[in-house]
Amino acid sequence: MRRGRFAPTPSGRMHLGNARTALLAWLHMRSLGGEFVLRMEDIDTARSRREWAELALLDLRWLGLDWDEGPDVGGPYAPYTQSERLERYEAALRKLEASGAVYPCYCSRADILSAASAPHGLSSEGPAYAGTCRHLTPARRAEKALHKEPSLRFALPENREVRFTDGIAGPQLFPPGSGGDFVIRRADGLHSYQLSVVMDDADMRITDVLRGSDLLDSTPRQILLYEALGLEAPAFLHVPLLNGPDGKRLAKRHGGIAISAFREGGAPPERLVGWLAHVSGLIDRPESVSAAELIGEFDLARIPREPVVVDVPDI
């Protein structure tokens, strides 16, 4: 059985880009006769709020999407909310520690910036980590631990390139050391996205991950974690982003993009679904259509391979 998912972060109102990814992930599974899972990625409790999670469920249902398992309907692999799954992340972390795949890092952000000479890592993280703490002696680690609580980093296997074929972006090759050794638990105890998403998808038997292309460069990290934990990685499909007229990722600066604003303003959901389907290459013009009506015509080959420049729809 094929199983896909949509996993929003409830740190704000769901917007057009989120809705498009949700629609495409849902159509992908429904067109295959598969199961669709909804999961809340609220592991960053400082940014996540319950009201945003509840609003996301309301917005998704308004768009005509449903799910077989999720935080509100339950399922065999519950819980479907990350903040309730911390024991699973700790268990994975202990397994990685036991195998020697992680090490404590005492560097501050300033230390990392000052030592940076490697190419930049993930765009949200700045320079790739130079491995400063990777080869510290036990004595040196004990000395540093007296002054600072460490984060834990995953040690990238040396001389290991990562290859995979993305269902939309095509063949991918990431050379050894891409992005540098990465944090899987912060110094404040917060587990990283990379570790939590791997455990969630493995535990929930996800076979296909369709998500935005901004997460494409996270994929080799996740593949290496799957391998280190003895788990099978799903198939990955990364959808090019929606950009505003200025060529930058669609955001609030381009106008009202919150799905709740369209819903509360009385817009018919079929018109918004039709617009999302049109900018995703699924239909020739932005006509009113329900999500269910798109299932029979869904084809991954029609999804654009480059970012799509759009104006905020007037619906």
Annotated binding-site positions for Zn(2+):
105, 107, 129, 133
Residue 181 gets which letter from DSSP? S
**With contact defined as beta carbons under 8 Å apart, do 126 and 118 qualify?**
no
Q: What does the alpha-carbon distance between residue 115 and residue 132 come to, in Å, rounded to a whole number?
A: 8
The dihedrals phi and psi of 236, each to the nearest 5 degrees, come to -115, 140
Runs of H (alpha helix) within 4-62: 16-31, 50-62
Q: Which residues participate in the annotated binding site?
A: 5-9, 41, 105, 107, 129, 133, 193, 211, 252
How many CA atoms within 13 Å lie on the side-chain side of 305? 7
**What are the Cα distances from residue 261, in Å, to 7, 257, 278, 279?**
21, 8, 20, 20
Q: Which residues participate in the annotated binding site for ATP?
A: 252
Q: What does the alpha-carbon distance between residue 130 and residue 10 come to, in Å, rounded to a whole number?
A: 33
Q: What does the alpha-carbon distance between residue 45 and residue 10 come to, in Å, rounded to a whole number?
A: 10
Residue 115 gets which letter from DSSP? H
**With contact defined as beta carbons under 8 Å apart, do 228 and 252 qualify?**
no
* 230 contacts: CB under 8 Å, gap ≥ 6: none
With b for 16 or more beta-carbon neighbours within 10 A and e for fewer, the 245-258 pattern comes to eeeeebeeebeebb
Q: ω into residue 10 within 30 of 0, thus cis?
A: no
How many other CB atoms sit within 10 Å of the CB of residue 177? Answer: 19
Q: Which of 62, 70, 63, 51 is nearest to 6 (CA)?
A: 70
Q: Which residues participate in the annotated binding site for L-glutamate?
A: 5-9, 41, 193, 211
